[in-house]
A and B are shown apart, each in its own frame.
Chain A
Amino acid sequence: MSYHSLSGSLNQLQVDYNHGCQQPVSNRPTHSAAGSERRCSVVPTRNPGHLKHGRTPHYSLTSRPYDPGSAMQDSPELRVPRRYFFRECQFGLARFALASLLSADRLRPAATAHQTRSLSSLHFVPRAKRVIFLFMAGGPSQLELFDEKPTLRRHDGKPVPATTLQGQDLPFIESDAALMASPLKFHSHGECGTRLSELLPHLGTIVDDIAVVRSMRTDAFNHAPAQIFLSTGHLQLGRPSMGSWVTYGLGSEATSLPAFVVMNSAGSLSGGAACFGHGFLPPSYQGVPFHSRGTPVLYTQNPPGYDRELQRDSLQLINRLNHDRFTTVRDPEIKTRIAAYEMAFRLQASAPELVDIASESQDTLDMYGIDPQKPSFGRNCLLARRLVERGVRFVCLFHQGWDHHSNVVGGHRSACAVTDQPATALVKDLKQRGLLADTIVLWSGEFGRTPMAERNPALGRDRGRDHHPNAFTSWLAGGGVRGGQTIGQTDDLGYHVSEDPVHVHDLQATLLRLLGIDHTRLTFRHQGRPFRLTDVGGTVITKLLA
Chain B
Amino acid sequence: MKLANPSRSSYWLIQLMGAWSLLALLFIAPCGANEHWAFRLPAVPTLPTVRNPTWAQHHADRFVLEQLDRQGHEPSTTASRSTLIRRLSLDITGLPPTLDEFKLRLQDTSPDAHERHADHLLASPHFGERWALWWLDAVRYADSNGYEVDRPRSVWPYRDWLISAFNNGLPFDQFAIEQIAGDMLPEATLEQRIATGFHRHTYLNEEGGHDWEQFRWEAIVDRVHTTATIFLGLSFSCAQCHDHKYDPLTQEEYWRFFAFFNNVDEPFLEVPTGPITDRRKTLLSQIATLEKTRQDIFPHKSPRPAGRQENDWRQHSIDLAFHTWCRHQAAAAVKWRVLEPLHYTSKMNATLSPLEDHSLLATGDRPEIDTYHVTYRLPTGPLHGLLLEALPHPALPKRGPGRGSVLGDGAFALSEFKATLPSQTNQQSPQPMQLTFLRPSATYQQKNRTIELSIDGDKLTNWHIQGGEGRAQWALFPTATAIPINRPTTLSITYLMNFVHQQTLGRFRLSITQDPKPLRLPSHPPQIDSLLATGWQNLSLPQRTRLRDYFLSVTPELAELNKQIQELRAALPEPPTTLVVTERPTSRITFLHTRGEFHRRESRVTADVPEMLHALPRNSPRNRLAMAKWIASRDNPLTGRVILNQIWQEVFGRGLVVTPEDFGTQGTPPTHPKLLDWLATEFLHRDWDLKAMIQQIVHSSTYRQSSRISAAAASWDPLNQWLARGPRFRVHAEVIRDLALTSSGLLTRRIGGPSFFPPRPDLGKMIAYANASWSVSKGAERYRRGLYIHRKRTAPHPGLASLDAPPRNTCKVRRRRSNTPLQALALLNDQTMLESAQAIAHLITANNADTEVERAQYAFRLCLSREPDAREVEGIVQYYHRQFQRLSAGTLDAAAIAGSEESKSDASLSSLAAWTATARVLLNLDETLTKE
Contact = CB atoms under 8 A, between A and B. Distances in A.
A238 B20 CA distance: 36
A328 B710 CA distance: 10
B879 interface: yes
Interface in B804-841: 804, 807, 809-810, 814-826, 828-830, 834
B721 interface: yes
B819 A310 contact: no
A109 B458 CA distance: 67
Interface string B313-328: 0000000000000000
Contacts of A274: 794, 807, 809
Contacts of B762: 291, 294
A417 B234 CA distance: 52
Contacts of B500: 172, 459
A336 B667 CA distance: 28
B306 interface: no
B130 to A, nearest CB: 18
B893 A304 contact: yes
A299 B761 contact: yes
Given A272-B768, A325-B927, A102 B666 contact: no
A333 B917 contact: no
Interface in A506-542: 526-529, 536
B824 A341 contact: yes
B207 interface: yes
Most buried by B among A267, A328, A337: A337
A317 B921 contact: yes
Interface in A314-342: 314, 317-318, 320-322, 324-325, 328-334, 336-337, 340-341
Contacts of B707: 329, 331
B367 to A, nearest CB: 12
A270 B926 contact: no
A527 B237 contact: yes
A300 interface: yes
B925 A304 contact: no
Interface stretch (A185-193, A203-211, A222-230, A384-392): A222-230
Contacts of B728: 329, 331, 333
A212 B23 CA distance: 52
B872 A33 contact: no
Interface in B23-40: 23-24, 27-29, 37
A529 B238 contact: yes
B449 A269 contact: no
Interface stretch (A45-53, A148-156, A361-369, A406-414): A45-53
A222 B207 contact: yes
A224 B824 contact: no
A289 B765 CA distance: 11
A310 B238 contact: no
A65 B460 CA distance: 65
Interface in A154-189: 169-172, 174
A217 interface: no
B309 interface: no
Given A264-B766, A527-B235, A223 B886 contact: no
Interface in B782-819: 793-796, 798-799, 801-802, 804, 807, 809-810, 814-819
Interface stretch (B467-475, B584-592, B657-665): B657-665
Contacts of A270: 147-148, 207, 768
B243 interface: no
A458 B450 CA distance: 10
Most chain A CB atoms below 10 A, which of B222, B721, B765: B765
Contacts of B182: none
A299 B460 contact: no
Given A314-B920, A457-B460, A68 B670 contact: yes
A231 B799 CA distance: 24
Contacts of B492: none
A38 interface: yes
Interface residues on B, range: 35 or more
Interface string B718-744: 110110000011100000000000000
Nearest to B663: A528
Contact of B816 (A104, A304, A311): A104
B541 interface: no
Contact of A282 (B3, B796, B818, B899): B818
Interface stretch (A73-81, A126-134, A469-477): A73-81
Given A310-B917, A317-B921, A224 B205 contact: yes
B208 to A, nearest CB: 7
A63 B24 CA distance: 6
B218 interface: yes
A174 B20 CA distance: 62
B599 to A, nearest CB: 10
A528 B659 contact: yes
Interface residues of A, number: 124
B620 interface: no
B661 A65 contact: no
B809 A238 contact: yes
Residue from A82, A304, A318, A343 whose CB has the most chain B CB atoms within 10 Å:
A318
Given A74-B721, A320-B875, A268 B886 contact: no
B744 to A, nearest CB: 15
B821 A237 contact: no
B245 interface: yes
A358 interface: no
Interface string A258-284: 100011100111111110010000111
A273 B892 contact: no
Interface string A24-52: 00000011111111100000001111001
Contact of B794 (A63, A273, A337, A343): A273
Contact of B825 (A107, A292, A300, A527): A300
B378 to A, nearest CB: 31
A504 to B, nearest CB: 15
B654 A36 contact: yes
B459 to A, nearest CB: 8
A91 B415 CA distance: 64
Nearest to A333: B819
A59 to B, nearest CB: 14
B883 A237 contact: no
A231 to B, nearest CB: 13
B245 A49 contact: yes
A300 B825 CA distance: 6
B146 interface: yes
B766 A337 contact: no
Contacts of A67: 669
Contacts of B28: 46-48
B918 to A, nearest CB: 8
Contact of A78 (B1, B67, B453, B719): B719
Contacts of B824: 337, 340-341, 343-344
Contacts of A120: none
Interface string B887-926: 0000111111101000000000000010001001100111
Contact of B24 (A46, A262, A289, A346): A46
Contacts of A49: 245
Contact of B766 (A237, A283, A289, A330): A289
Nearest to B597: A219
Interface of B: 1, 3-4, 20-21, 23-24, 27-29, 37, 67, 70-71, 146-148, 150, 203, 205, 207-211, 218, 221-222, 229, 235, 237-238, 241, 245-247, 413, 415, 449, 453, 458-462, 464, 499-500, 653-654, 658-659, 661-662, 664-671, 673, 707-711, 714, 718-719, 721-722, 728-730, 761-770, 793-796, 798-799, 801-802, 804, 807, 809-810, 814-826, 828-830, 834, 871-872, 875-876, 879, 882-883, 886, 891-897, 899, 913, 917, 920-921, 924-927, 930, 932
Nearest 8 pairs between A and B by C-beta? Answer: A171-B209, A272-B794, A305-B896, A528-B666, A104-B818, A268-B768, A305-B897, A238-B810
10 contacts: A82-B718, A105-B819, A224-B207, A269-B767, A274-B809, A298-B798, A314-B921, A314-B924, A325-B926, A459-B499
